[in-house]
Amino acid sequence: MSWMAWTQTTAIFFSVIACILIAMTIFEIKVPSTERRGFLPIETSRGDRLFIGLLSSAYLHLVFLGFTEIALWVPLAISVVWVGIVLRWG
Amino acid sequence: MRKVENNKAWLLVLPVFLLVAFSAIVPLMTVVNYSVQDIFDQNNAYFVGSEWYREILRDPRLHESLLRQFMFSFAVLAIEIPLGIGIALMMPTKGKMASVCLILVAIPLLIPWNVVGTIWQIFGRADIGLFGWSLTSLGMDYNYASNPIDAWATVLLMDVWHWTPLVALLCYSGLRAIPEAFYQAARIDRASKWAIFRHIQLPKLKNVLVIGVLLRFMDSFMIYTEPFVLTGGGPGNSTTFLSQTLTQMAIGQFDLGPAAAFSLIYFLIVLLVSWLFFTTINHMDKDK
């Protein structure tokens, strides 16, 4: 696997993504979700909300990287809270 | 009655999952790994964190290419979708002519991208190309190699020629799937051709148009070969789109780290726009 040029940071990143997907799959099997409408303007399933949360978090990181010199811990903390909000009330 | 659940069917998805993992997920993960490192060779890579992302996001080359790319993709959609619908509506539905038309319309789709670029490169030349010669004979000062507007028009025309048939064929199949009863009801109501199009054909074409818009957006947003062969990105950088800028960075300069960061930003843009298109069109019906 050395050709993939792994680093500790990217390994942690992908592990977290994999854990989220596994946890969401188990949660979906135990408690199946139906589409509903929250504060987002469209009806979404739990998977949709996770996708929206993760994609918007990626863009949030890009905005911080492109326009500010602030350390990435700040957008990371905002993203964790944001994904939680989208999953619960989105 | 108790429903018997059998999840063995999931195993049938396994080959596809492995194939996608091998062809898409693992390469994408590798690109993520590259994007945070300064890569010199296989044994010399240094972790640089988010440096390449900062550099790329502030690079004017990316901003200019991105603007050109959006302009190109929206121009392509604005021309190809209505034109494709129009061609599909005009195509005969029965008889030998229907088959002849289908084959003729499909021909541009069968030509490889680099050949399309070469065809238009020759076609647009004022000395030996019919298109360039015709425009010059009409008194127009046409030269796609030196005039950015001519280069843009030729690249657009080439894409329209190459890919409108895809939209036309998709719409044609969608139109053929509309039951005759709808047209009979329209005739009883003495509906005009426009009313039939507006209230029967267009709504029934919605699903194929979603696929057409998505395919054409993604494909035009990733265009590389045709403009590369036709204009080489010039004159200047006027037809240098995102993929060409990326290739110059990755292969021309061998800046693998910045190119990987660029690729991921590119991927996120395609993902967002495609998702927005898909979700918006998909939810229009639900909201009604």
Decide if B25 is inside a domain: no
CA distance B183 to B200: 8
Give the pLDDT of residue A55.
Answer: 96
| C-alpha dist (Å) from residue B18 to A85, B10, B12, B14, B181 | 33, 13, 11, 6, 45
Structural domain of B126? 60-287
Q: Is residue A34 within 8 angstroms of chain B, CB to CB?
A: no
Give the pLDDT of residue A22.
Answer: 94
Residue B40's H or E segment, with its range, is: strand B37-41
Min Cα distance B24 → chain A (Å) is: 13
Residues with Cβ within 8 Å of B177's Cβ and at least 6 positions away in sequence, in order, are B204
> How many CB atoms within 10 Å of residue B71?
13
Min Cα distance A51 → chain B (Å) is: 10
- From the list B53, B58, B271, the residue facing A55 with the nearest CB is B271
pLDDT in single tens digits along all 288 residues of chain B: 566 667 788 788 989 989 988 888 999 999 999 999 998 877 788 899 899 999 999 999 889 999 999 999 999 999 999 999 999 999 998 888 999 999 999 999 999 999 999 999 999 998 899 999 999 999 999 999 899 999 999 999 999 999 999 999 999 999 999 999 999 999 999 999 999 999 999 999 988 998 899 899 989 999 999 999 999 888 988 999 999 999 988 888 888 999 999 999 999 999 998 898 888 777 766 655
Chain B residues bordering chain A (beta-carbon distance below 8 Å) = 26, 29-30, 32-34, 36-37, 39, 42, 45, 47, 49-50, 53-54, 57-58, 265, 268, 271-272, 275, 279, 283, 286
Per-residue pLDDT at A45 exceeds 70: yes
Min Cα distance A66 → chain B (Å) is: 5
Decide if B276 is inside a domain: yes
Decide if B20 is inside a domain: no
Do residue A65 and residue B39 have CB atoms under 8 angstroms apart? no
Paired with B46 in beta bridges are B38
Decide if B39 is inside a domain: no
Closest to B131 measured CA to CA, from B165, B161, B166: B161
CA distance B33 to B15: 26
Decide if B21 is inside a domain: no
Do residue B272 and residue A7 have CB atoms under 8 angstroms apart? no
Most B-contacting residue of A3, A61, A65, A74 (CB-CB within 10 A), to test interface: A65
Per-residue pLDDT at A5 exceeds 80: yes
CATH code, domain with B218 = 1.10.3720.10
| C-alpha dist (Å) from residue B1 to A7, B4, B86 | 53, 9, 53
- At B168, list the tokens: 């036309």
CA distance A50 to A47: 5
Most B-contacting residue of A4, A34, A45, A50 (CB-CB within 10 A), to test interface: A4
Give the pLDDT of residue B94.
Answer: 85
Min Cα distance B285 → chain A (Å) is: 12
Domain count, chain B: 1
Most A-contacting residue of B3, B44, B50 (CB-CB within 10 A), to test interface: B50
Give the pLDDT of residue A4.
Answer: 82
Give the pLDDT of residue B1.
Answer: 55
Decide if B188 is inside a domain: yes
Long-range CB pairs of B197-205, under 8 A, 24+ apart, other chains included: B197/B89, B201/B89, B201/B175, B204/B174, B204/B175, B204/B177, B204/B178, B205/B85, B205/B171, B205/B174, B205/B175
Decide if B30 is inside a domain: no
CA distance B262 to B258: 6
Decide if B27 is inside a domain: no
Do residue B58 and residue A66 have CB atoms under 8 angstroms apart? yes
Q: Residue B32: list chain A partners with CB under 8 A.
A: 10, 13-14
> How many CB atoms within 10 Å of residue B161?
15
